[in-house]
């Protein structure tokens, strides 16, 4: 089966190769804004975010979520304070995102399209 990338500029959203959930841009936005904590099949979502120092983070937030890094920081501060949700795990590099996603069947992350390899699956529309 051919996977079609969910594009956010030069950023792609990736999941574990065993993840069989139907994932679209709306679900990705809900995951990264704390509105979705479980996959449609019932598994607990393990979201991975890039560090603030990585420019890919701002690109992903803007292109995929329509938000700035400061908007996202404020959103997560409110969710954490109110006990509604915990933010995604933060890592520093595309390689670390791939490592976490490939090791956890419920993980989702984003990386540069040029960093994709066969250790992860690019999300299909």
What residue ranges define each of the domains in the chain, with the CATH number in brackets?
Answer: 7-122 (3.40.190.10)
CB burial of 28-63 (b: ≥16 within 10 Å; e: otherwise) equals: beebbbbebeebeeeeebbbbbbeeebebbbbbbbe
What is the per-residue pLDDT for 102?
97
Q: Could you report the per-residue pLDDT of 62-74, keeping only the tens digit for each?
A: 988 899 999 999 9
Six token digits for residue 121? 């699956």
Q: Could you report the per-residue pLDDT of 75-112, keeping only the tens digit for each?
A: 999 999 999 888 999 999 999 999 999 999 999 999 99
């Amino acid at each position: 089966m051919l996977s079609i990338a969910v594009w956010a500029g030069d950023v792609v959203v990736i999941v574990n190769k065993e993840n069989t959930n139907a994932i679209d841009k709306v679900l990705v936005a809900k995951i990264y804004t704390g509105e979705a904590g479980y996959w449609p099949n019932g598994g607990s979502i393990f979201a991975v975010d890039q560090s603030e120092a990585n420019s890919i983070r701002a690109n992903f937030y803007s292109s995929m979520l329509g938000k700035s890094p400061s908007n996202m920081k404020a959103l997560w501060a409110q969710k954490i304070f109110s006990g509604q949700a915990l933010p995604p795990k933060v890592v520093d590099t595309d390689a670390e995102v791939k490592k976490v996603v490939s090791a956890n069947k419920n993980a989702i992350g984003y990386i540069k399209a040029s960093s994709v390899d066969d250790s992860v699956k690019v999300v299909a529309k």
